[in-house]
Structures are given as structure tokens and as C-alpha cells.
């Protein structure tokens, strides 16, 4: 899959060299040469979708869709407070509620394409995996508690 997206090529080479086969790849064919890598993290018996976007810019976002849809009732009280607490605690990633009411964990890695290090993506995914193994049950309890109260 060699194209003019340097970061995508480096990441694909890293995946091949390490025999990592769990990523799907989608080339967008736009002016930024965007290539999206998708996989899932298994957390608490759930498959959480992961999207990693490479292009010609400095920014390389990595997102995990933690909860596909948060009920409006749940997003209005205890969950928001807990998300804000997590956002104050963790420097490397942030949570937000998307336009379609999904709870997203977001990381933005920065590097000029020529200095992009795919090992950092792997390390970041490991950190996120460990974090979600601890926090996912807490987040779900808060969502269920808020939904049950409303």
C-alpha cells in the first residue's frame, strides 16, 4: 500500500514488520492523501472501534468510540462530571461527546511526516488499552446509573 502519505507508509511498514494484521485500511484520495486505519480494542467483552487517521499534516488523530450512544439523560449529570475529572487527570488523551452522542476518547499525535514514529501509535494504544480496562466499567456504571435515575 505505498502512496504519497509518508505516515501511512511508515505505519503500514511497522504493521508488516511486526506481523500485526488487525487493522483495516481505507485511502480517501483527497488533497491531504488521507489514509484511515481501523481496528477494535476488546474491553470488558465489548469491541470498541478505533480509528487512526494519517495524512500530510502535523496532526495524527487516534480515536476510540468508547460508547456508541450516550442517552441525553446520562450525559447531563454525573457522566459529564466524571468525564471532566478524567480530562483533568490524563494529559495524553481527552474524552468528549460527539455530534451523534457517542463517547469518544481522543488523542492527537503530532510529528512532521518524515519524523513520524509508528511505535508511538502502538505505545499509545497500549496506554489506552490499560486505561480503558480500568475506566470502562466505571464509565458504564455511571451511564447506567444516570439513565436509571431519569
Model pLDDT for residues 25-72, shown as the tens digit of each residue: 999 999 999 999 999 999 989 999 999 999 999 999 999 999 998 866
Q: How many CA atoms lie within 13 A of 79 on its CB side?
A: 29
Which structural domains are found in the chain, ordered by start? 6-149 (3.30.1460.70)
Between CA 75 and CA 142 the distance in angstroms is 10
Average pLDDT in the 14-26 region? 97
Between CA 141 and CA 125 the distance in angstroms is 23
Average pLDDT in the 6-21 region? 97
- Position with higher pLDDT, 101 vs 78: 101
First to last CA, the chain: 50
Q: Tell me the whole-structure pTM to 2 decimals.
A: 0.90
Contact by Cβ (8 Å): 89, 81: no
pLDDT tens-digit profile of 111-122? 999 999 999 999
CA dihedral 98, 103, 107, 108 (to 10 degrees): -10
Amino acid at each position: 500500500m505505498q502512496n504519497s502519505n509518508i505516515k501511512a507508509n511508515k505505519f503500514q511498514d511497522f504493521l508488516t514488520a511486526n506481523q500485526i494484521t488487525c487493522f483495516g485500511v481505507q485511502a480517501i484520495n483527497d488533497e491531504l492523501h488521507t489514509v484511515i486505519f481501523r481496528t477494535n480494542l476488546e474491553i470488558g467483552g465489548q469491541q470498541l472501534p478505533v480509528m487512526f487517521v494519517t495524512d500530510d499534516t502535523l496532526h495524527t488523530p487516534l480515536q476510540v468510540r468508547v460508547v456508541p450512544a450516550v442517552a441525553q439523560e446520562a450525559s447531563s449529570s454525573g457522566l459529564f462530571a466524571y468525564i471532566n475529572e478524567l480530562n483533568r487527570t490524563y494529559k495524553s488523551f481527552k474524552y468528549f461527546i460527539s455530534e451523534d452522542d457517542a463517547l469518544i476518547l481522543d488523542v492527537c499525535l503530532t510529528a512532521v511526516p518524515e519524523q513520524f514514529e509508528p511505535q508511538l501509535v502502538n505505545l499509545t494504544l497500549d496506554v489506552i488499552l490499560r486505561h480503558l480496562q480500568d475506566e470502562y466499567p466505571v464509565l458504564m456504571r455511571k451511564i447506567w446509573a444516570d439513565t436509571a435515575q431519569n
